[in-house]
Amino acid sequence: MMKQILLVDLCREKDSLSRYEFVDPIAATLGSSGYLSMAIHFSDVTGDEMENYDKIILCGTALKDDGYQETLCLFSWIKQCEKPILGICAGMQVIGAVFGGKIVPQPAIGLEKMVIVKNSPLLGEAREIEGYHLHNYCVTLPDGFMLLAGLPRAANAFQHETRPIYGIIFHPEVRNRWILDRFANL
């Protein structure tokens, strides 16, 4: 049976144009690798819907779209979810905040080199990679998470210590599509 991945659209408004930039490319990448995905706006995600999916990706948003920060209570389900979760950009910020990290200003636009400091199933072995950044904020490393890249005060990537929950601040749909494949194959 084909794996199904839930794409959570974090854009402030349902069906916004930003979905074409931050959600649809992820769906296209997964589809070209043989995975089914379905996008649902974060305000419509319920526990019942989770049963239909094997994995969950919290997608990014536009630079000025930070409405998810005002509605973090809608993401409390993340703490109880047992399925693999990947947070991309704003999605990483949401995961970090739900687990006690702080969303802090750190604007970045464009390609940036990052040092992967710890081997992981998502990013592979420790080395330097380049990723496309498009964000005004990052998140501090929450308790119970391991730093995969960046600094504890401004993580570029992290992983929960015991659960398959990952966050990356950069956009793999632009430059590192292999990360989406690795997540789909976890």
Q: Does 173 qualify as catalytic in the annotation?
A: yes
* β-pairing verdict for 165-168 and 103-116: unpaired
Q: Does 82 qualify as catalytic in the annotation?
A: no
Q: What is the dihedral of CA 97, 103, 106, 110, to 10 degrees?
A: 30
Instruction: Show the beta-strand stretches assigned E in the chain.
Output: 4-9, 36-41, 55-58, 85-88, 103-116, 127-139, 145-151, 154-160, 165-168
Active-site position among 89, 133, 135, 138: 89
**Which segments of 83-132 does DSSP mark as H helices, in order?**
90-98
Q: Does 41 qualify as catalytic in the annotation?
A: no
- Residues classed as catalytic: 89, 171, 173
